[in-house]
Amino acid sequence: MKILHTADWHLGNTFHAHSRLNEHKHFLRWLLGVLKERQPDALLITGDVFDSPNPSAAAEELLYDFLLRATLTVPGLQVVMTAGNHDSAGRLEAPAPLLKTHNIYVRGTMHYTPQGEPDFDYYLLPLAERATGQAACVCMAVPYLRSADYPMGMTPEQGLRYVFGELHKHLRQSEFKGLPIVVGAHFYAAGAEVCQSGHSERLVVGGQDCVNADVVGSNVSYTALGHIHKAQPVGKSGKAWYAGSALPMSFAETGYSHGVQWVEIDHQGEAVVERIKYEPLRRLITIPAKARAVSAAEAMEQIAALPKRAKGDMGEAWPYLELHIEEKQPEPSLMHDVMEALADRAVHFCRIQRVMPATAAAKADKQDAPSADALTTMQPLDLARRYFESRYNEPMPDPLVTRFEQACHEGAPQA
């Protein structure tokens, strides 16, 4: 059984106000090429297909155009698509009856029997080898679960153990018992390396949504996970993998490997996993390249070294750029100067991260705030001087004092 595993496409995402439509088109064209070359039996897409519950028409068109092309490129291909926490589960599942006619199976919401019990059989999908048409494994296709999707009072880990326990129980009672098991799911597995500063994975504060990867059961050949953007194995078994995001979702994810997982499972249920790497259309660059910040003057020098825009180049493959600038004092014209310097450079500007000197930051943390009584008697300039010195570790320069006094004068009510 040959399986291609991908996740976290985030179709419809904008990156610091830049549309990523062409980037996603580039990824999906590449993925179609992989499908054509490798000819898998099944494609697993494990959540966060869209970036938001209300994706644009263009994002939805991308998805359905890809699914159509994929099933035409690989005749007999079975596609299993599960909802992630970014998706609207109901919206993703709405066209499921139509998609099913093309061997595309969507699992987004919890379904129930006429008796009001969870319909666990609905999430057990036998997958066949294209060459034989015979079922070769069973996929437990589980969407992102919320607290209402399992018995009241359970933690996320208890809820997932309950759901997977019931799935295994129902599988043992089915005609497909004994076949290798593949899981497609979307959750935060303990031990996974996550993006600490980008906040693009929407993890629950305090890690309350973190669960052990073994919740899926011990007799699983391969667990195809979505949710964490860094491609990596998790758990002690070595059989659970995050495919990683299709594109980097924040500058904190610079350096992540992007691509898909190629999985081959033999009839005994042994899986061999191969990483197929993808190079996104646009890369991320930071000035400076290291984590430290530089002065505005140094940043300007590095901007001047960036490639110039070629005539007629519309910027489809230009990289995204962020700047880390150390401000020893306020520089009101900084943004204007940066935009002028970048006007003829082949980059998509995203943001400036302004950093105060370490000594000033430490002093600012220790600075005692004036009392409420003191604030009522302090002049605005005195307060500004105090703040400036605490932040930049030096007295406010005379030109800035003059500008501040002018602003106070112009903003004062007229008699």
| CATH code of the region 2-278 | 3.60.21.10
Q: How many CB atoms lie within 10 A of CB 153?
A: 8
Is 195's pLDDT higher than 50? Answer: yes
Contacts with 198 (C-beta within 8 Å, 6 or more apart), sequence order: 249, 250, 251, 252, 253
| Both tokens assigned to 16 | 């610091």
Is 400's pLDDT higher than 90? Answer: no
Q: Where are the domains of the chain?
A: 2-278, 284-355, 367-411
Please state the rounded mean pLDDT for residues 39-65.
Answer: 97
Q: How many CB atoms lie within 10 A of CB 124?
A: 17
First to last CA, the chain: 84
pLDDT digits (tens, 9 = 90+) for 89-111: 999 999 999 999 999 999 999 99
Q: How many CB atoms lie within 10 A of CB 307?
A: 12
| Helix and strand totals (H; E) in the chain | 11, 19
Q: Do residues 71 and 33 make contact, with C-beta atoms less than 8 angstroms apart?
A: no
Helix, strand, coil % in the chain, rounded to nearest 5: 35, 25, 45
Q: Please tell me the distance from the alpha carbon of residue 334 to that of residue 92, in angstroms, as a whole number.
A: 44
| CATH code of the region 284-355 | 3.30.160
pLDDT at residue 208 in the model: 64
Q: Do residues 227 and 248 make contact, with C-beta atoms less than 8 angstroms apart?
A: no
* pLDDT category of residue 413 using cuts at 50, 70 and 90: low
Contacts with 197 (C-beta within 8 Å, 6 or more apart), sequence order: 250, 252
* pLDDT category of residue 196 using cuts at 50, 70 and 90: low
Please state the rounded mean pLDDT for residues 194-200.
Answer: 69
Q: How many CB atoms lie within 10 A of CB 178?
A: 11
Kindly state the DSSP code that residue 207 receives in the 8-state scheme: G
CA 193, 196, 202, 205 torsion-angle sign = positive
Please state the length of the chain: 415
Range from 196-200, 278-282, 326-330, 367-371 that averages highest in pLDDT: 278-282
CA 257 → CA 22, 277, 281, 287, 308, distances in Å?
20, 7, 13, 21, 28
Residue with tokens 């919740």: 215
Kindly state the DSSP code that residue 377 receives in the 8-state scheme: H
E-strand ranges in 214-291 read 222-226, 232-234, 240-242, 258-265, 271-278, 284-287
What one-character-per-residue DSSP string does 338-362 give?
A: HHHHHTTBSSEEEEEEEE--HHHHH
H/E stretch holding 82:
strand 78-82
Q: Please tell me the distance from the alpha carbon of residue 32 to that of residue 36, in angstroms, as a whole number.
A: 6
Is 387's pLDDT higher than 90? Answer: no
H/E stretch holding 399:
helix 398-411
Could you give the percent of the chain with pLDDT greater than 70?
90
Q: Residue 224's beta-bridge partner residues? A: 184, 241
Is 53's pLDDT higher than 90? Answer: yes
CA 176, 182, 183, 189 torsion-angle sign = positive
Kindly state the DSSP code that residue 141 receives in the 8-state scheme: E
SS3 call for 385:
helix
Q: Please tell me the distance from the alpha carbon of residue 119 to that of residue 132, in angstroms, as a whole number.
A: 29
* pLDDT category of residue 205 using cuts at 50, 70 and 90: very low
Q: Do domains 2-278 and 284-355 have the same CATH topology?
A: no
Q: Is 48 left (phi over 0), alpha (psi -120 to 50) or beta?
A: left
Q: Do residues 258 and 246 make contact, with C-beta atoms less than 8 angstroms apart?
A: yes
Task: Decide the pairing of beta strands 124-128 and 135-141.
Answer: antiparallel
Q: How many CB atoms lie within 10 A of CB 340?
A: 12
**Cα of 186 vs its chain's centroid, Å:** 12
Q: Residue 326's beta-bridge partner residues? A: 355
Please state the rounded mean pLDDT for residues 234-262.
Answer: 95
